Amino acid sequence: MNNRLKQKLIKIRRRIHEFPELGNHEFKTSDFIEKTLKGLKIKTYRISKTGVVGLLKGEKPGSGGKCMALRADIDALPIQEKTNKKYKSKRKGIMHACGHDANTTIVLGSAILLSEKRKHLSGSVKFIFQPNEESSEGATNLIKGGVLKKPQVNAIVGVHVCPWLSSGTLGLKRGAMMAATDKFTIEILGEGGHGAYPHMGKDAIVISSQVINSLQTLVSREIDPVEPVVISVGTIEGGERFNVLCNKVKMTGTVRTLGKNLHSRIPGLIEKKISSIARAYGASYKLDYEVLGYPLRNSDNILKLCYDAGVDFLGKSRVKLLEKPSMGGEDFAEYLRYVPGCFIYIGTGKGKVYPWHHERFDIDENALPKGAGLLLRIAEKFLHS
């Protein structure tokens, strides 16, 4: 990749990084993406207020009808940046702490490269810039809005920078790569009373402590130990005064699973635990269980395509096959329910690195043109196969 492209992508990334926006409020980010794509003579349209799609049609005579989509997420996080970089966030309490600014830049970089080759390109490429990945329904809303249609997308690749891989490397994971993301809300309904006479009430705090412990024994004693699952209670609230028995406790938490069968079974297993404990104490309960995202499973054929493209472009030593999946969630999984595809990591680690969602998160910008060039190679391989 030439130095001119590298400098251009660094400028783009820093512009996005300086002005981060939260999910579904990425108005200036979307305007900037649209302006960049239009400058490349790529047709754009909106799905939702901030979801931007670019469509590049190949001009090679006799071009086929294949369409590949390249997806980037564009939202930031409610985190105060604590770096000393010149391009640090100019918005108080908001930061690109997960690298979505870099993801967006890499896909825009691929649009720059592909637009220069449109006369030799068969089929079409759809560039999807998705809002609200960090919360929920970002991908779902674009899919409902028809992002995978007109033209029909035949394959999709999602890109994400990774601080744990050395800069400029490609990370791939066969099969299950990331977990389903579920959320539960539990209310334990006891009976109040004086703290000096606990036998005359039903202490919702004590009951809730039993529920929390039982959820952990559900993982350790009732599920196959080689089946990955995480149950974590994230919030708990209840009680009004130090000497009054609590009559209601509300807690929320998350469940992460990789297997399809366990994913469908887990709500029933959780309710069974809560029900038996509440009944034993003479209390009642309410359970609300939400599936926020499904397990992300890469398609074998598209993963092989990405692997081959990575070997061609980066060299075999720069392509890493990852052994372990992540229990983190990623709504790119929603696209994979309808279209074969692959989620790839672009390594951005160099020197001391910080994890995603950290107030000092940053990337090695030398990876930007390599990621863009890799997406170019992937799209060419797919469309010309």
Give the Cα separation of 207 and 213 in Å (integer): 10
Q: What is the b/e burial string over 45-75, where b = at least 16 CB atoms within 10 angstroms of the residue's CB?
A: eebbebbbbbbbebeeeebeebbbbbbbbbb
Cα radius of gyration (the chain) = 24
What's the confidence (pLDDT) of residue 69?
98
State percent of the chain over pLDDT 90. Answer: 96
What's the confidence (pLDDT) of residue 61?
80
Q: What is the pLDDT of residues 318-371, one digit of tens each?
A: 999 999 999 999 999 999 999 999 999 999 999 999 999 999 999 999 999 999
Instruction: Say if residues 310 and 381 touch (Cβ distance below 8 Å).
Output: no
pLDDT level of residue 136 (50, 70, 90 thresholds): confident
198 preceded by a cis bond (ω within 30 of 0): no
Question: What's the whole-number average pLDDT of the chain?
Answer: 96
Q: What is the pLDDT of residues 271-300, one digit of tens each?
A: 999 999 999 999 999 999 999 999 999 999
Q: Say what the alpha-carbon torsion angle 12, 18, 19, 24 is, to the nearest 10 degrees.
A: 80
What's the confidence (pLDDT) of residue 81?
98
> For 104, how many CA atoms within 13 A lie in the half-sphere containing its CB?
33
What's the confidence (pLDDT) of residue 60?
87
Q: Rounded to the nearest 5 degrees, what angle is found at the Cα of 37, between the Cα atoms of 107 and 381?
A: 45
pLDDT at 251 over 60: yes
pLDDT at 1 over 70: no
Give the Cα separation of 148 and 358 in Å (integer): 33
pTM score: 0.93
Residue 28 CA: distances (Å) to CA of 22, 53, 66, 284: 11, 15, 32, 48
Instruction: Say if residues 16 and 72 touch (Cβ distance below 8 Å).
Output: no
Residue 308 CA: distances (Å) to CA of 34, 50, 189, 301: 31, 34, 57, 11
Q: What is the DSSP letter of 41?
A: T
Q: What SS3 class is residue 153?
A: coil
Q: How many CB atoms lie within 10 A of CB 174?
A: 16
Domains of the chain: 3-178+295-383 (3.40.630.10), 180-293 (3.30.70.360)
Q: Look at the block and give the residue holding tokens 């951005």.
A: 348
Instruction: Say if residues 107 and 159 touch (Cβ distance below 8 Å).
Output: yes
Give the Cα separation of 312 and 323 in Å (integer): 22
Residue 348, token pair as written in the block: 């951005």
Query: What type of residue sits at position 347?
Result: G
pLDDT at 109 over 80: yes
